[in-house]
Amino acid sequence: MIPDEAHGVIGLQPSACTSCMICVRECPTWCIELESHTEEVSEPGARRPKTINVLDAFRIDFGLCMYCGICVDLCPFDALAWSPGFDHAASSAGGLVHGINELVNWWPATNPSPAD
Amino acid sequence: MIRVDAAEWRSTIAGFHGSGCTLFGFLTGVDRGDSVEIIGRVAHPESIEAHLISTTIPAGGTLPSLNDLYLGASWHERETGEMFGITFAGLTDARPLLRRAQQGSPPLLKSSVLVARVVREWPGAAEASDDGRRGGNPSRRRQRPAGVPEGFMQDEADGRSAIGGT
């Protein structure tokens, strides 16, 4: 029986991520990579269009990750969370690199999505 | 934790060995800047008695080996010696344990920069405003990864950082 709050794997909620890079820069093992670009968004009533970051790719290499959870603790937008999932063994080192699609699936169902 | 002078390191532990603490737990080091702290643990095999003993020696210093008292200590002394750049006098087998040769800076000293931190592009150097340019916008000042001292990167001398890639 694995408790829901177990630190098994890290999940991502991409809609909450602002590409601020804090997790990438604080990771002691350099296991997170993030790609993003900026877009200008015009809002009614605003004098200037505002620039926002758009997330393109987010990868965690669980072959390098030491499961310290610093990224989860430091994310200002709760876009990263621990999940009790554990069965992410892979037959090759490359299989341990999880992109947005895999990380979304790890997002714990018990956590309410902060973006919704 | 019992803190002793380096001169009393061996006699203190030999005393515990004589009083029945014949089980060697571990021995390791901690980089304290100008000095290296050595910590060892010995225990009694049939009771809960255990002792943590610590001493401090200058960086690159020497400490008497315990491997005639505890056979298992030689493994830890070989490892601690090569990782922190210190010598255990009287250690019968002082061959490097984990490294191929005793060359370069001892890896567990804080002054040793990990080569992997220098040859690999730091993922944190990217910015959203780079808009997909690999290695980032060269006109911006790059952030330095933690643990890499200023001026370590060769390219920094001419105003470019190798951390951000090419």
B155: which DSSP letter? G
Tokens of residue B65, six digits: 């080996």
DSSP state of A113: P
Domain around B122? 115-158
pLDDT computed for residue A43 by the predictor: 85
Q: Which two tokens stand for residue B47?
A: 């009771």
Residue by residue, pLDDT tens for chain B (166 residues) are: 999 999 999 999 999 999 999 999 999 999 998 999 999 999 999 999 999 999 999 999 999 999 999 999 999 999 999 999 999 999 998 888 888 776 778 989 988 877 777 778 888 888 776 655 554 455 555 666 766 777 665 554 444 444 444 3
CATH of the domain at B81: 3.30.460.80
User: Which of A10-19, A30-39, A99-108, B116-125 is predicted with the least confidence, judged by mean pLDDT?
Assistant: B116-125
Domains (range + CATH), chain A: 9-31+59-106 (3.30.70.3270)
- Is the pLDDT confidence value at A35 over 50? yes
Helix (H) or strand (E) holding A51: strand A50-61
The ipTM is: 0.76
B154 and B82 in one domain? no
Instruction: Please indicate, yes or no, whether residues B8 and B84 belong to a single structural domain of this protein.
Output: yes
- State the total domains in chain B: 2
Q: How far is A30 from chain B (nearest CA, A)?
A: 7
Strands (E), B91-159: none
Tell me, yes or no, whether B75 and B153 share the same domain: no
Interface contact B126, partner A, CB < 8 A: yes
pLDDT at A114 over 80: no
Option in B122, B131, B146 nearest A37 (CB): B131
Mean per-residue pLDDT, A45-62: 92
For residues B36 and B44, what is the distance between their CA atoms, to the nearest angstrom? Answer: 27
B29 and B84 housed in the same domain: yes
Which residue on chain A is closest to B125 by alpha carbon?
Answer: A25
B129 interfaces chain A, CB cutoff of 8 Å: yes
User: Quick one: closest CA in A to B122, which residue?
Assistant: A30
Closest residue to A35, CB basis, from B120, B129, B132: B132
Report the sign of the C-alpha dihedral through residues A11, A36, A41, A74, in that order.
positive
Compare CB distances from B126 to A28, A30, A35 and report the shortest one's residue. A35
Any idea which residue has 């758009």 for tokens? Answer: A54
